Amino acid sequence: MGKNDSMNHRATLSIRYDQAQDAWEAVMRVYESMPGWLGAEDLPRWYGTEDGSK
């Protein structure tokens, strides 16, 4: 990709709030594999900037 090109990621997850704990753990593994993942203390968080830096 060139300097001025951008890459966008969009994901839509349909997640039941009452799913089993092992399903929540699988969701967290998906989150952790996504670009820009910062972690989850209270809510999942990602970073994103024009130049890809944190």
Is residue 38 situated within a structural domain?
yes
> 34: domain range?
17-42
Asked if 15 and 27 touch (Cβ cutoff 8 Å), the reply is yes
Is residue 25 situated within a structural domain?
yes
Asked if 26 and 20 touch (Cβ cutoff 8 Å), the reply is no
Is residue 27 situated within a structural domain?
yes
- H helices within 1-54, ranges in order? 21-33
pLDDT for 21-49, tens place per residue?
A: 999 999 889 889 988 888 888 888 888 76
Is residue 51 situated within a structural domain?
no
Checking if the pLDDT of 6 tops 70, the result is no
Number of domains making up the chain: 1
Give the pTM. Answer: 0.58
Predicted pLDDT of residue 3 = 55
Q: How confident is the model at residue 20 (pLDDT cuts 50, 70, 90)?
A: very high
Checking if the pLDDT of 16 tops 80, the result is yes
Is residue 23 situated within a structural domain?
yes
Asked if 13 and 30 touch (Cβ cutoff 8 Å), the reply is yes
